[in-house]
Amino acid sequence: MASIRFLGAAGTVTGSRFLVRAHGRAILVDAGLFQGQKALRLRNWAPFPVDPRALDAVVLTHAHIDHSGALPLLVRQGFRGPAYCTPATRDLAHLLLPDSGRLQEEEARYANEKGYSKHAPNALPLYGEEDAVASLGRLVPIPYRAQRKLFPGIALNFRRAGHILGSATVELDIAPEGPAPAVRILFSGDLGRYGAPILPDPEAAPAADVLLVECTYGDRTHSAEPPAEALRREVHDAVRRAGALLIPAFAVGRTQEVLFHLRALEAAGSIPALPVFVDSPMAVDATPIYLAHREDHDDEMARLVASGAEPLRPSRLVFARSPEQSRAINRMRGPCIIVSASGMATGGRVLHHLKQRLPEESTTVLLVGYQAAGTRGWSLQNGAASLRIHGEDVPVRARVTSITGFSAHGDKEEVARWLSTLPAPPGRIFCIHGEPPALGATAERLSARGWNARVADDQEEVDLSA
């Protein structure tokens, strides 16, 4: 008999991890960290509900830390099986997991310095960079649509999800077991947008008996204004003000999307060719990975790459890798574009640019991502008159504006569009990966169509053969 247990991203957005048991095997789909509020982050420290040594395999839908960031922890605790993912997810994990280890180490150091840790002065990181590097050896790439038998009676298939490079929906096919019938479990993973640049649209969903569907924006629709148009307007505004357009952006995904739009706008003659600085070592490393994985490109991106157009390279692009290159940007006067991480200004090099340029009236700060409550990005979005950076209060004289049309997640209409590609309603649907209102709204909408959908309960185990 087959069963599934909801170990995270149930009733909440982060900590994606689902335990499937079938044919005597235990497979963990996604190994995510809980992120955000402290009560959630503390869950990362709880003993894993299953002995990691008893797991036979891990399957990752994509490389975001709330889906992959617990892999180093599992490996440190004895997991020795394969961690299946797409080839691009493996490459991005090589950037994101060691970075996550470094952040955990920094956090522990900070806790020790401030003495606020319960274990002060000996706070330990959840895991370190070395643990993360060691876990990379577990990753086993499987291309899209290359159905692979994992164990007798269990097969895996990835399809494009269009969320970030390498992102996939996951099908687990469980063969009949005694009197228990065959079961196909479909995991939506995180679903992307339709019509977004670089990545293809989410691929049509296959028939499934059991579906786990993400609900991040289950109760919202995205802005109708195309992000490229909003970006064009802001670039012209920066030129008029003769100042910097400073864009805090996630290093993986959002930065490449911004670069794509800037190059396309330039090529179309819609904006002048300004100096564009990408100041984030991870963004600098992620960009060639975005270019290299052609299996993840949509038609337009493929055509541009084939024509030699360098779709992620505005004509005056400068990648700043070293601290010296980063500091040199400070001397840049006049209109220019600076794209730097982190996306919510919680850390990273963007802080140096904010510190330098927020006091200048000619600066435009353009927020292109979701800003979680309590972050500096959120404060800026909500009209803060000053911002605390590196122990200093920095006055905000810059113009601050947001583009809401960028998102890596489909909204409720786009998820509905993906669901409409299912050849038939699945026998059972579990709503996962969302805040309670979004989860409830999705379950209600599906139930109203006569589909058997409900919100998954945290920690519950469901017998899929029953």
Q: How far is the CB of 64 from Zn ion (least distance, A)?
A: 4
Which of 326/371 has CB closer to Zn ion?
371
Q: Does 64 bind Zn ion (CB under 5 A)?
A: yes
Residues near 82 by beta carbon (within 8 Å), at least 6 away in sequence: 57, 58, 138, 139, 140
SS3 29: strand
Q: How far is the CB of 82 from Zn ion (least distance, A)?
A: 22
Among residues 163, 204, 219, which one has the least CA distance to residue 406?
163
Q: How far is the CB of 3 from Zn ion (least distance, A)?
A: 26
Query: Cα separations (Å) of 285 from 137, 145, 447?
Result: 20, 27, 44
Q: Does 30 bind Zn ion (CB under 5 A)?
A: no
- Among positions 244-303, residues that touch Zn ion (CB under 5 A) are none
Which of 191/365 has CB closer to Zn ion?
191
The string of DSSP letters for 186-210 reads EE--S---SS-SSSPPPPPPPP-SE
Q: How far is the CB of 434 from Zn ion (least distance, A)?
A: 13
- Interface stretch with Zn ion, choices 28-36, 64-72, 194-202, 345-353 (CB under 5 A): 64-72
Which of 64/222 has CB closer to Zn ion?
64
Which of 64/184 has CB closer to Zn ion?
64
Q: How far is the CB of 190 from Zn ion (least distance, A)?
A: 4
Amino acid occupying residue 335: P
Q: How far is the CB of 163 from Zn ion (least distance, A)?
A: 5
Is residue 363 within 8 A of residue 398, CB to CB? The reply is: yes
Tokens of 374: 């309590």
Q: How far is the CB of 266 from Zn ion (least distance, A)?
A: 29
Tokens of 254: 């959002």
Give me Rg for the CA atoms of the chain.
22
Q: Does 214 bind Zn ion (CB under 5 A)?
A: no
Which of 190/257 has CB closer to Zn ion?
190
# residues contacting Zn ion (CB under 5 A): 2
Give dist(CA 148, CA 296) in Å, integer: 19
Give dist(CA 395, CA 70) in Å, integer: 38
- Interface stretch with Zn ion, choices 7-15, 47-55, 63-71, 81-89 (CB under 5 A): 63-71
Residues near 328 by beta carbon (within 8 Å), at least 6 away in sequence: 320
Which of 173/190 has CB closer to Zn ion?
190
- Among positions 168-207, residues that touch Zn ion (CB under 5 A) are 190
The string of DSSP letters for 272-283 reads ----EEEE-HHH
Which residues form the interface with Zn ion (CB under 5 A)? 64, 190
